[in-house]
Structure 1
Amino acid sequence: MPFHDRSDAGRKLAKALAHYKDRHPVILALPRGGVPVAAEVAAALDAPLDLVLVRKIGVPMQPEYAMGAVMDGAKPVIIRNEDIIRAAGITAAEFDTVSQRELAEIERRRRLYIGKRPRIDPTGRVVIVIDDGIATGATMKAALGAIRRIGPKELVLAVPVAPADAIDDLRGEVDNLICLHAPAIFGAVGYFYDDFRQVSDEEVIAALAKFPVSSGSHVA
């Protein structure tokens, strides 16, 4: 396997991102699995760590079919996929209903993982978005689109493993993309780890506690 566990993947990813250290990046992780990976990168780059809380907005009768996405923040960012909304005949009320449900779930996770911890404002910063791997890329694409709207100076996607076709699809969403392993034949993210046990809520909270937001950080 390319990686023993998520910490191992994070250390290897940190080496590939070492040239960003002097640019004082912000590290944003997709919970839960992306957090142990991102924590290793944040430690190596001496960078602040925060979470990307993003939810797909699915068509009511086909929830896997994304008609938009919503991302947490000081002002939640909602992205609409107008082509799918029109094709599925979704009304404004239907879209808002699903959006509010996903916002409620994001708020639940925000309270659980973040609480009163200040949020890091990525506007005008080099932002590195990290997960433990990518399968289809749909959730990551939504996250990147929402982060782009906030106005980072440079948007970087860094993952240990992803299928080659997903990487090709996501490359246009970012300024730089780093993927350590992009096989044409994929299967599932877990296939590329010896240890791919589920990351607990407690592990996410503990990882964030190791990276307190300093008074000098840009916060939201």
Structure 2
Amino acid sequence: MALQVAKVAQVAGIAKEKMVVVAIPRGGVVVGRVVADKLGLPLGLVVTKKVGAQGQEELAVGAMGPDGRVVLDEALVGRLGLSKMDLAPQIKNAKLKMQSYKLKFKVKEYSMADKSVVLVDDGVATGATMEAAIDWLRHKCKVQSAKCKIIVAVPVCASEAYGQLAGLADEMVCLEVPEDFGAVGQFYEHFPQVTDEEVVGILQS
């Protein structure tokens, strides 16, 4: 995947010294470290937290970015007949976990000035957390009056999410966009749960 990112950056005229790899924990950090090392780039974090539906926590109706901004799948929320008040407990819980992750992973602030961000995750199912990460990066660029580009790089992505994210990112690198998509893990031979401790270790390596 690193090779494809390098080719996309070259075609887009993005200089290597202006690039940084930013990964979404936890699984994205494993992939992000490989991409960063192969490209000889620094690795950073963008911590997002999925917002699940009440009683169906695994069903992502949106996600929260590092600054607490929440991006909701309005169509899905509407189909489920949910209101923002209904989601308040899940949003509050996401915010608490976000704060915990920031402390645990020692997330640092960094300048976005003239940066091209390679945003990495281990795969995309609904696109909720990736969309929240893009939203945060765009907002950060705007606040800092910075010119920056976002390259989304993932090994696999559900087709519906791919179309959505391709419209939000400046460039999209994805190795597989299968029509028959069940879960990210089905496209890996080995897909263990990545622990917080492993994330910390990878960031320190």
Gaps of 5+ in 2: 10-14, 142-146
- The answer to whether 1:147 aligns with 2:137 is yes
Counterpart residue number, 1:9: none
Counterpart residue number, 2:24: 30
Counterpart residue number, 2:144: none
Counterpart residue number, 2:95: 103
Identity of aligned residues (%): 32
Q: How does 1:121-200 map to 2 (within 5 A)?
A: 121-151=111-141, 153-200=148-195
How far apart are residue 95 of structure 1 and its match? 6.5
How far apart are residue 193 of structure 1 and its match? 1.4
**Is the contact between residue 171 and residue 177 of structure 1 (CA under 8 Å) also seen in structure 2?**
yes
**Is the contact between residue 71 and residue 131 of structure 2 (CA under 8 Å) also seen in structure 1?**
no
After superposition, the C-alpha distances for 1:72-105 in whole angstroms (9 at most, x for unaligned) are: 2xxx1413549558x64435xx766654432211
Q: TM-score, normalised by structure 1?
A: 0.74
How far apart are residue 43 of structure 1 and its match? 1.1
User: What secondary structure, in the 3-state scheme, does the structure 1 residue paired with 2:69 have?
Assistant: strand
Q: TM-score, normalised by structure 2?
A: 0.78
Counterpart residue number, 2:12: none
How far apart are residue 59 of structure 1 and its match? 5.5
Q: How does 1:12-91 map to 2 (within 5 A)?
A: 13-19=1-7, 20=9, 22-58=16-52, 64=59, 66=61, 69-72=63-66, 76-79=67-70, 81=72, 84=77, 88-91=82-85
RMSD (Å), alpha carbons: 2.6
User: What secondary structure, in the 3-state scheme, does the structure 1 residue paired with 2:201 have?
Assistant: helix
How many residues align? The count is 189
